[in-house]
Amino acid sequence: MTLQPFGDRALLINWEQRIDPELNAKVHAWQQAIEQAAIKGVEYSIPAYCSLTVVFNPMQIAFDTLAEKIQALKIPEPSTRHAGRTLEIPVDYNGADLPEVAQRTGLSEPELISLHSNRPYRVYLIGFLPGFPYLGPLPEALHCPRKQTPRQSVPAGAVGLAGAQTGIYPFEAPGGWQIIGQTSLKVFDAESEDPFLLRPGDTVIFKPV
């Protein structure tokens, strides 16, 4: 674990740079510990796959002091069996790229749907767009590259694949993920008191409809 400045208002904690459920569980364990410590001057933190950005007010706490306080925290051994919620997401597997992904992977469409659904995916982080969940691990047989030419418009609720990840578009936006299905659930609602359906550390299970 390394700590370094990230601009003049943030501290970046980095772990080994890879996508791994155990590393991600460690990120969330440190985030929770920092929140519970209520360090004066810390405003909020942003978890990613294998890093944690801690935003602070430099008028209230210096970087070196914050780094010392974080390093002094006692962190329990994290577990991938976290206390996050488990949510089922209904999916109509009718995506425009389903035939292409089946061809790329050498799977039939029913095999592809079966592999993608009815299994747990960890919400590693929220990013790219407000409410967009990066989910994994994706079965290796489903790994496929992003589209060479991104679409100018991907509909809200589109379920896509990219590399070793799967995700859900929160609203209509440009994007290059391979679209294999569509959900009717809103993963982001700007008018709601809590606009985000999913949070880092949650578990998602896709259910065919």
For 79-137, how does the pLDDT look when each residue is reduced to its tens digit (9 = 90+)?
555 558 999 999 999 999 999 999 999 999 999 999 999 999 999 999 889 999 999 99
Q: Assign residue 153 the CATH number of its domain.
A: 2.40.100.10
pTM above 0.85, yes or no: no
Number of domains in the chain: 2
Indicate the Cα dihedral angle 42, 44, 50, 51, nearest 10°: -40
Would the CA dihedral through 209, 130, 196, 15 be positive or negative? positive
Domain of 43 in residue numbering reads as: 2-71
Residue 20 pLDDT: 87
For 144-192, how does the pLDDT look when each residue is reduced to its tens digit (9 = 90+)?
999 999 999 999 999 999 999 999 999 999 999 999 999 999 999 999 9
Q: Are residues 47 and 113 in the same domain?
A: no
Q: Are residues 90 and 63 in the same domain?
A: no
Give the model's confidence band at 19: pLDDT under 50 very low, under 70 low, under 90 confident, else very high.
confident
For 51-76, how does the pLDDT look when each residue is reduced to its tens digit (9 = 90+)?
999 999 999 999 999 999 999 998 87
- Measure CA of the first residue to CA of the last residue in the chain; give whole Å: 43
Is pLDDT above 60 for 33? yes
Is residue 161 in a domain? Answer: yes
